[in-house]
Every structure is written in C-alpha cells, then in structure tokens.
Chain A
Amino acid sequence: MLQLIFKRLLVAVPVLIIVASITFFLVRLAPGGPFDSEKVVAPQVLKNLNEVYNLNAPLHEQYFDYMADAITGDFGPSFRYPGRSVSEMILTGLPVTFELAFYAVIFAVFLGLLAGIIAAVKKNTALDYIPMAIAMLGICMPTFLLGPLLVLIFGINLEIMPVSGWDALPGDKVLPAITLGAAYAAYIARLSRGGMLETLNQDYIRTARAKGLSEFKVVMLHAIRGGLIPVLAFLGPAIAGLIGGSFVVETIFQIPGLGRFYVEAAFNRDYTMILGTTIFFSALIIFFNLLSDISVAIFNPQARS
C-alpha cells in the first residue's frame, strides 16, 4: 500500500511541474497583456506596472522566479486586484468551493447509492426502471440547464428557495448543491446498480443467504462492498468534473468560490491568478485521484497488485 502511494506521488510531482510550465508559457504567449483593456495608461505607468509584476525580465528568468516562489506556495500578486495575493484569494475561495462540493457529493452519494441498490435488488421492476430513467435524465441534463430550471421553478415561481447567494439567506445552499450533485447522483446510481448486480450473483452471496441471513443483511453487509467499488473508482476522476461544474454553479448562483474566481481571471487575463488556480486545481485533482485509488485498494484486494 505504501509502495502504491509512493509510486503515485513520484509521478505526481513531475506532472505538476509540467502543468505549471505549460500554463506559464501558454499564458505568456497570449496576445494582449493584463493592462490592455483598461483606459489608456501613460507609458511610464505601464513601465512601472511591468516592473512591479516582474514582466520586464527575460522570459526564462520570469519562469524560474515564478517556479521558485510557487514551490513555497507563493503564487505572486493578483494582476487585477491590486494588493491581494493569489494565494490569499485561493484561500478565501477554497472553503466556499469545498463546502459546496461537500454538500454536492453527500447528496450524490446518498441519493445515488439508495437508487442504485434498490434498482439492483428490485431488478426489472418499476423500482428499477423509473430510477434508472431519471438517472439517464440526470446524466443528459447539463448543470447549466438544471440550475436555472431549479431557480425558475423553486426560486421564482414557487418562491420557496433563494435565487442566488451564499451564506446570506437560509437555504441558499440547497439548490447549488443539488445542481452540482445531480449528474453524479445519476452516475453513482448506474454504477452501484451494475456493481451490485454482479455481486449478487456471486457464490458468497448464495452462501450468506443459505446460512439464513435476512435479505437486508445480505445486501447491506455483503453485497454492498461490490456495489461500492465502481463508485469509489469513479469518485476520484469525478472531482475533476466537479471542479468544472463548480465554474457553472458558482456563476449561476453568484457564489464567491474558487470556480468563479477562475472564470473571472480567465476573462480578465489575470495571469498570475490563472496560473495559481490552474496549478492548484491540478494538485487537487491528482490528490483526489490518489485518494480514490487508495480506497479502491482497501475495498478490493484484487486491485492491490
């Protein structure tokens, strides 16, 4: 197990460095500087600005300076928000995004597993078909459509939910969490159903039934492990999708999280912010992939070799 973790970490470090380098040069190659779109700036001011942000040095020097700082967690000052550092902004946005993602995952896992297990146990009945059809709908309905529709129905027409905001009104976290989690609930339902069906045909399940365990115990104690493995394997890569989803959800519901910061930074050509968040997101994704590999290894001894 330790070897697995070590091997994966050994790959993660160069990958992160490559990601950081590609992003760095990509952003620098871009036409148009960060101070372009504003009012006409006096040449002297522009020169000073470039100096402050270390844009005058040769590119390779800028690169090494940046990488050296980045290793210590210093991603430099933000181009757009003078006086604020990128690390500081990441730290303010991160808890919000994490909280949103946390609720979304809880919602997705709970609803998805419930639907998947019931569908598998009640295979080929209405309790199988209906949840699976809804799951298909959940997969096909994009976040940027589901969110506004929920707002339209529950926020504007029924007026029982806040339309947007975060931590301002009671219940304003419900719709964003459901919006972000819905597609994952659907995937988890399908995956856990498939995993459960496979497990329910195994010999050890027959043994468990033969020794007189109640069907509830057979499912909840024995079969569920088989249903969980594909879900665990899915959760790691799902985090990557969750980040993309947070861009949309945070934009729709005006949530001050990392996703919205990133989208804004990309539009504003806030170089340092783009770089910082990209590296940060990559590290996050690599970390969660590792975490999901480890949990799969714990649940499924066959995957350990």
Chain B
Amino acid sequence: MEHSSQSLWSDAFDRLKKNRLAVVSGIILIILLVLAIFAPWIAPHSYAYQNLELGAVGPSSSYWLGTDTLGRDQFSRILYGARVSLLVGFVATAVALLIGVSWGIVAGFFGGKIDSTMMRIVDILYGLPFIIFIILLMVIFGRNIWLLFLAIGAVEWLTMARIVRGQVLTIKNQEFVLAAQAMGVRNISLFFRHILPNILGTIAVYATLTIPQVMLLEAFLSFLGLGVQPPMSSWGTLIRYGVESMEEYPWMLIFPGLIFTITLFCLNFFGDGLRDAIDPRSSD
C-alpha cells in the first residue's frame, strides 16, 4: 500500500467528491452563478421592457417561461433576479461573517471575563425579535439595498460568533498551541499561524449554510414589499407578483418559486456535504 500525504483540504475535497448529492448541487450552483453573472448577454429579452399588448402569456418558444402581466419576459426577469438574490446572499453573508468571526475569535481567544460578557450579549441578542427590527429599519429608512445587506448581515452573525468561539476554544487548548505558546510565539502569529488555519473549514461550512438563510430573509422582505424595488427584481419580488396573479397566470408563481426553492435546496445540500467532508465527525 502506498500512502501519499495529503493536505486537509485535498482530503476534504476527495470526501466531497464522493457525496453525489453535494456534487450535483455544487454543479447546479455554479451554472446558476454563471447565468447570473452573464445575465446581460444571456437574457433573450430586456428585463424591464414592457409589452402591454402582449400581456401575460404562457411558456412558448419565444418566451420560454412565459411573460408577466406587463408583457415582460419571465426568463430574463428570473435571470436578473438571480443577480440581485445571489448578490444579497453573498454580501450579507460576508457582513455576517466579518462581524461573527471577529466577535467569536476575540471571545474565544481571550476567554475569561471578556468571553463571558461577549457571549452573554450574543445570548441576549439571540432572544430578540430581529425580524421586527429589520422591517422597522426598511420602513423608516427606505428600501435601500445597502441597508438591506447591512440589516440582514447584522442579524445573521450571531450563530457564526457562537460556532467560531467554540472552535477557537477547542483549538486553543490543544497541545500544539500550548507548545507554541511555551516556545514564546506571540499572540498575533499564534493566532494567524496556528488557530486561524484550523477554523477556516468550519467558517467555510457555515458561510455556505448562512447564504440560504440570508436569501430567505431577503425574499421574505421583498415579499412583504420591503425589499428590492421595481423595475429591479429579486426572486422574492417575482414571487410576490406571482402570488398576486397566480389564479389566472400560475406560471408567474411557479417558475420563480421553483428556481428559488431549487437554489436553496442546492445551497443546503452543498453546505451539508461540505460539513461532512471537512469535519467527518460532525455529520448528523
């Protein structure tokens, strides 16, 4: 038997490859991402062009997913909606990541009083009706997309902070860190050389699992009419319009709903697969 030494990451990648569901999800997500990025070149019609004479027609060869009540091409609108929805997903997750990871690292790394105070704050914030505050913010300060990123990110960081802190605590108490400390390695390099590389996997996993949460929240707000404003459309807005006219034109609800659900499905499966691959013990 020959054993080649493998890094943690290529090891994890091998495990991920064996999880078919995760691989399929990953491929679908990549396709979606490409479609979203290149939407202006791919979309067969303009997302804003209204053809009032045409009105809402079902799927056909020229309008693959039909048109909405204003005669706008559904397929193009869904493509452009993907840009907004995915953008919100990534940016708000990045905000959550930034706050949550720094919070968790500081709490876990310094421990003691700092830790208990910081985690107490997280506990308290956990119990607050954030959804209400977000609605309030959007109503008061207008439907600004940047505010949306910030507000959603500010809510979703809590879980991240808890997980990162737990990880930092576990790793901090392992022998190799103690050894490094004993050899006089300074806090900064101790952290960047020894602790951070070991928690990157966990961070990647939970970032992947936060994206669908964020997208759900955005769609929820858009559904209530508090999210992205026309003529721009996210998948949440498309679903909202779809619901309004689902009795006569069910395709206006079904296609955006389908694509939204599939995306969340894939993100969750890919995130689960990633977790199993990076930390095989934690599978539920």
A residues near B (Cβ < 8 Å) are: 11, 15, 19, 23, 26-27, 29-31, 136-137, 139-145, 148-149, 151-152, 156, 190, 193-194, 197, 237, 240-241, 243-244, 247-248, 251-252, 262-263, 266-267, 269, 274, 277-278, 281-282, 285-286, 289
> Does B216 lie within 8 Å of A247, measured CB to CB?
no
Chain A binder among B48-56, B133-141, B176-184: B133-141
> Does A144 lie within 8 Å of B246, measured CB to CB?
no
Minimum C-beta distance from A115 to chain B (A): 15
Q: Provide the residues of chain A in CB contact with B284, threshold 8 Å.
A: 190, 193-194, 197
Q: Provide the residues of chain B in CB contact with A140, threshold 8 Å.
A: 212, 261, 264-265, 268
- State which of A145, A152, A156, A278 has its C-beta within 8 Å of the C-beta of B261: A145
17 A-B pairs within 8 Å (CB atoms) are namely A27-B140, A29-B140, A136-B269, A141-B261, A142-B223, A144-B219, A148-B246, A151-B246, A237-B127, A244-B220, A247-B135, A252-B243, A263-B224, A267-B139, A278-B133, A282-B129, A285-B127
Question: Which residue on chain B has the smallest CB distance to residue A282?
Answer: B129
Minimum C-beta distance from B66 to chain A (A): 16
What band does the interface of chain B fall in when counting residues whose beta carbon is under 8 Å from A?
35 or more
Q: Which of B140, B250, B253 has the most CB of A within 10 A?
A: B140
Complex Cα–Cα for A197 and B220 (A): 34
Main secondary structure, interface of B, reads helix
Complex Cα–Cα for A247 and B191 (A): 44
Q: Provide the residues of chain B in CB contact with A281, threshold 8 Å.
A: 129, 132
Q: Provide the residues of chain A in CB contact with B219, threshold 8 Å.
A: 142, 144
Complex Cα–Cα for A12 and B269 (A): 37
Residues 174-212 of B contacting A (Cβ, < 8 Å)? 212
> Does A144 lie within 8 Å of B131, measured CB to CB?
no
> Does B243 lie within 8 Å of A142, measured CB to CB?
no
By Cβ-Cβ distance, the 6 closest A-B pairs, closest first, are: A140-B264, A244-B131, A30-B140, A144-B223, A194-B284, A148-B243
Q: Provide the residues of chain A in CB contact with B212, threshold 8 Å.
A: 140
> Does A285 lie within 8 Å of B128, measured CB to CB?
yes
Complex Cα–Cα for A243 and B133 (A): 13
> Does B239 lie within 8 Å of A145, measured CB to CB?
yes
The reply to whether the CB of B124 lies closer than 8 angstroms to some CB of chain A is yes
Q: Known contacts being A136-B268, A263-B224, is A243 close to B124, with CB within 8 Å?
A: no
> Does B239 lie within 8 Å of A144, measured CB to CB?
yes
> Does B132 lie within 8 Å of A262, measured CB to CB?
yes
Minimum C-beta distance from A127 to chain B (A): 17
Complex Cα–Cα for A136 and B264 (A): 10
Complex Cα–Cα for A149 and B137 (A): 30
Minimum C-beta distance from B121 to chain A (A): 11
> Does A23 lie within 8 Å of B246, measured CB to CB?
no
Q: Provide the residues of chain A in CB contact with B58, threshold 8 Å.
A: none
Q: Provide the residues of chain B in CB contact with A31, threshold 8 Å.
A: 140
> Does A248 lie within 8 Å of B223, measured CB to CB?
yes
Minimum C-beta distance from A170 to chain B (A): 22
Q: Provide the residues of chain B in CB contact with A243, threshold 8 Å.
A: 129, 131-132
Complex Cα–Cα for A3 and B244 (A): 52
Q: Known contacts being A27-B136, A145-B239, A269-B139, is A156 close to B128, with CB within 8 Å?
A: no
Q: Provide the residues of chain B in CB contact with A286, threshold 8 Å.
A: 127
In addition to A139-B268, A243-B132, 20 A-B residue pairs with Cβ atoms within 8 Å of each other are A19-B128, A23-B133, A27-B140, A136-B268, A140-B212, A140-B265, A140-B268, A142-B216, A144-B223, A144-B240, A145-B239, A148-B242, A152-B250, A237-B127, A240-B129, A243-B129, A263-B224, A266-B139, A278-B133, A285-B129
Complex Cα–Cα for A30 and B239 (A): 29
Q: Provide the residues of chain A in CB contact with B247, threshold 8 Å.
A: 152, 156
Complex Cα–Cα for A144 and B264 (A): 14
Q: Known contacts being A139-B268, A145-B261, is A152 close to B129, with CB within 8 Å?
A: no
> Does A251 lie within 8 Å of B129, measured CB to CB?
no
Q: Provide the residues of chain B in CB contact with A277, threshold 8 Å.
A: 132
Q: Provide the residues of chain B in CB contact with A19, threshold 8 Å.
A: 128
> Does B260 lie within 8 Å of A266, measured CB to CB?
no
Complex Cα–Cα for A123 and B269 (A): 19
> Does B128 lie within 8 Å of A248, measured CB to CB?
no
Complex Cα–Cα for A159 and B216 (A): 30
Question: Which residue on chain A has the smallest CB distance to residue B130?
Answer: A240
Complex Cα–Cα for A137 and B253 (A): 17
Minimum C-beta distance from A52 to chain B (A): 23
What sequence of 0s and 1s flags, for each residue 211-246 of chain B, a beta carbon within 8 Å of any chain A beta carbon?
A: 010001001100111000000000010011011001
Minimum C-beta distance from B253 to chain A (A): 6
Complex Cα–Cα for A251 and B224 (A): 9
Complex Cα–Cα for A145 and B257 (A): 6
Complex Cα–Cα for A296 and B246 (A): 43
> Does B131 lie within 8 Å of A240, measured CB to CB?
yes
Complex Cα–Cα for A281 and B1 (A): 63
Complex Cα–Cα for A27 and B141 (A): 10
